[in-house]
Structure 1
């Protein structure tokens, strides 16, 4: 049973997904890398469907802190866990799709410029943990 997401719930899904990409991209910053990484993320997000696609394509980009990586993480990682909880409540069939989409986008961004660095892998690990640290004791599918 799928229910529509509120604007706030869509924003949580979007903040988590786009924020995860931002975390990985900023783990190993660079102007040329950022261009390649944005194309990689767009390609991964193009595969979204259902409520996830609706949430990611509605409205503009989320506003994320720009002061430090810790400030970004303090917004993005809880948003990822909350997004999984929202989907579990509103559209359980989309939970694993959201997790997979976010992790795929993060991995594509990391590989987009000279391969995955240790800092990028660390960011992906934190993202994976946030996606698993929701109310679901079983973790990701």
Structure 2
């Protein structure tokens, strides 16, 4: 049962941050096939989430990100992760770990999905872990 009522904007922040992480990891290893494998792997983490995190991450449309400017995406996504945790701490503190686990799992699965974790993906994962600390 979902007990917290999040505004549409708050839900969008949580979703954009989580999917933005997957975008950053996927962008760290070029190639269409790699991107598809990574997206599928990450989606499994989102559908396997529990509670409010699952509801937010598996409902509605997908956020759009600029294709040519991963730096801009990173500058938006990492602060959005911290903001997402603040939203959950204020409105649904019992859901913070569910969300954190889903995002970290999606990032890790995406990084491992195509030829293992490369150095660029490892650097993205470190930034994501720091933002979620």
Scaled by the length of structure 1, what TM-score is found? 0.88
Q: Within 2, Cα distance between the matches of 1:39 and 1:63?
A: 17
Shift of 1:67: 2.9
- What pairs up with 1:94-133 in 2 under 5 angstroms? 94-132=95-133
CA contact (8 A) 1:25 1:37 kept: yes
> What runs of 5+ residues in structure 1 fail to find an aligned partner?
133-141
What TM-score results when the alignment is normalised by the length of structure 2?
0.93
* Structure 1 residue 65, shift from structure 2 partner: 2.6
Equivalent residues, number: 132
* Structure 2 counterpart of 1:17: 18
Does the residue aligned with 2:132 lie in a helix, a strand or coil? helix
What residue ranges of structure 2 are gaps of 5+ in the alignment?
none
Moved segments of 4+, more than 4 Å: none
Q: Distance in 1 between matches of 2:49 and 2:108?
A: 16
> Is residue 68 of structure 2 the alignment partner of residue 67 of structure 1?
yes
Measure how far apart 1:44 and its partner are. Answer: 0.9
